[in-house]
């Protein structure tokens, strides 16, 4: 690190960068994008070279971990090349990706060989009909094959992310918990956030982590609090009392974790966001393509960090929903 760290006005030091490599996706989860969706023209999306340059600038100020997301990151051609480019940056200790798993069986081996450190696979149900209801596409068997291929390729500590939706996925909680436990996957439930493309979210559709925990304890087994790996991690983790498996809860709505947030995000078209719920953005693509030097880009990054708010305030009357839906930000 050759530059001072990225510290905001609340003293939070930023170490994690989420990079959306595309807004495109091969499925259409209703909580993330509308059924009919217009994607960005390819020329407006950051190139791998631009992403690498930005990451190098971030790493010079203390960013250590990168997560590739989208849209569906595996839908971006040549993703493993980008992984290799990012892994070679001084100061980057981990490159991870979050995927829907549909293309994972084809790509797990090459991503592993390129040096990808960790994988999160999103899967909300093991029921093929509900999978189609949520994603508006078929493909459950591909996701399961993708998880198996990733394990065969040598990925360990694979996480399975499940968005929990009240009135829809209650009956999926226990089968998912059993599936993850049997296969050595760390399961994390994420509360449904107001970032859906159709703007249908309301507080009644949130199934809280606490409700899910009770369902699992009743049907699978008692849970005990697990040690936090990182102070800034959004999830509260539990392990089964018998020592076999872990389950975590990301509860941005019922238990916001903003006070420990160390994340910053770049959208596919190079807009810097200091929060998932940010209503302000800094246009790094314009700077990159306008010939700005690294110092000018770093100044824009610092300005964004300086302007980071204390929290998202979903539960407050003043909460303003961001104009972008999840697929346009990168979860």
List residues near ligand SAM by CB under 6 A: 25, 31-32, 69-70, 72, 98-100, 122, 161, 163, 190, 192-193, 195-196, 326-327, 331
Among 66-74, 105-113, 137-145, 286-294, the segment contacting ligand SF4 (CB under 6 A): 66-74
x/- letters, 104..143, toward ligand SF4 (CB under 6 A):
------------------x---------------------
- Nearest to 168, CA basis, from 212, 199, 219: 212
Residue 33 contacts ligand SF4 per CB under 6 A? yes
- Nearest to 255, CA basis, from 160, 177, 189, 321: 189
Residue 209 contacts ligand SF4 per CB under 6 A? no
- Nearest to 22, CA basis, from 2, 6, 41: 41
**Nearest distance, CB of residue 161 and ligand SAM, angstroms:** 4
Q: Which is nearer to ligand SAM, 125 or 274 (CB)?
A: 125
Angstrom distance (rounded) from CA 173 to CA 275: 28
DSSP 56-111: HHHHHTT--EEEEESS-GGGSTTHHHHHHHHHTSTT--EEEEEE-STTHHHHHHHH
CB under 5 to 8 A by kind: which of ligand SAM, ligand SF4, none does 192 bind?
ligand SAM
Among 8, 72, 191, 269, binds ligand SF4 (CB under 6 A): 72
Both tokens of 117, joined, read 């450190």
CB under 5 to 8 A by kind: which of ligand SAM, ligand SF4, none does 33 bind?
ligand SF4
Helix, strand, coil % in the chain, rounded to nearest 5 = 35, 20, 50
CB under 5 to 8 A by kind: which of ligand SAM, ligand SF4, none does 193 bind?
ligand SAM
Q: Which is nearer to ligand SF4, 39 or 309 (CB)?
A: 39
**Nearest distance, CB of residue 2 and ligand SAM, angstroms:** 32
Among 16, 53, 58, 71, binds ligand SF4 (CB under 6 A): 71
Q: Specify the 3-state DSSP secondary structure of 172.
A: helix
Among 61, 100, 169, 328, binds ligand SF4 (CB under 6 A): 100
Q: Which is nearer to ligand SAM, 31 or 282 (CB)?
A: 31
DSSP single-letter state for residue 204: G
Return all residues near 289 (Cβ < 8 A) that are at least 6 apart.
none
Q: Which is nearer to ligand SF4, 20 or 232 (CB)?
A: 20
**Nearest distance, CB of residue 185 and ligand SF4, angstroms:** 18
Angstrom distance (rounded) from CA 69 to CA 100: 10
Q: DSSP H helical segments within the chain, as ranges?
A: 48-60, 79-87, 104-114, 128-135, 140-152, 173-183, 209-219, 284-289, 294-306
CB under 5 to 8 A by kind: which of ligand SF4, ligand SAM, none does 297 bind?
none
- Nearest to 65, CA basis, from 74, 55, 75: 55
Q: Specify the 3-state DSSP secondary structure of 55.
A: helix
Among 29-37, 52-60, 107-115, 218-226, the segment contacting ligand SF4 (CB under 6 A): 29-37
Contact between 69 and 98 under an 8 Å Cβ cutoff? The reply is yes
Q: Which is nearer to ligand SF4, 131 or 240 (CB)?
A: 131
Binding footprint of ligand SF4 on the chain (CB under 6 A): 25, 27-29, 32-33, 70-72, 100, 122, 326-327
């Amino acid at each position: 690190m050759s530059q001072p760290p990225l510290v905001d006005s609340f003293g939070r030091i930023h170490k994690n960068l989420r990079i959306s490599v595309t807004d495109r996706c091969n499925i259409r989860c209703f909580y993330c994008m509308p059924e009919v969706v217009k994607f960005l023209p390819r020329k407006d999306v950051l190139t791998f070279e631009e992403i690498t340059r930005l990451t190098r600038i971030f790493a010079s100020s203390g960013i250590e971990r990168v997560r590739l997301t989208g849209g569906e990151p595996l839908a971006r051609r040549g993703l493993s090349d980008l992984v290799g480019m990012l892994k070679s940056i001084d100061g980057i200790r981990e490159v991870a990706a979050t995927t829907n798993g549909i293309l994972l069986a084809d790509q797990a081996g090459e991503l592993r060989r390129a040096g990808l450190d960790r994988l999160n696979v999103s899967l909300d149900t093991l029921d093929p009909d509900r999978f189609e209801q949520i994603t508006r596409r078929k493909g459950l068997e591909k996701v399961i094959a993708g998880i198996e291929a990733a394990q065969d390729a040598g990925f360990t500590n694979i996480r399975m992310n499940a968005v929990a939706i009240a009135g829809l996925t209650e009956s999926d909680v226990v089968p998912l918990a059993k599936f993850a436990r049997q296969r050595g996957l760390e399961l994390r439930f994420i509360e449904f956030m107001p970032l859906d493309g159709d703007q249908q979210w309301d507080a009644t559709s949130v199934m809280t982590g606490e409700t899910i925990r009770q369902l699992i304890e009743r049907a699978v087994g008692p849970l005990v609090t697990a040690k936090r790996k990182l102070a800034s991690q959004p999830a509260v983790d539990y392990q089964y009392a018998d020592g076999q498996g872990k389950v975590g809860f990301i509860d941005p709505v019922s238990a916001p974790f903003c006070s420990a947030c160390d994340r910053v995000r770049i959208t596919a078209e190079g807009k810097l966001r200091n929060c998932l719920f940010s209503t302000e953005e800094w246009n790094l693509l314009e700077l990159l393509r306008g010939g700005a030097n690294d110092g000018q880009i770093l100044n824009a990054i610092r300005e964004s960090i300086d302007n980071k708010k204390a929290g998202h305030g979903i539960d407050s009357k003043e909460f303003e929903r961001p104009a972008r839906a999840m697929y346009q930000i990168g979860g």
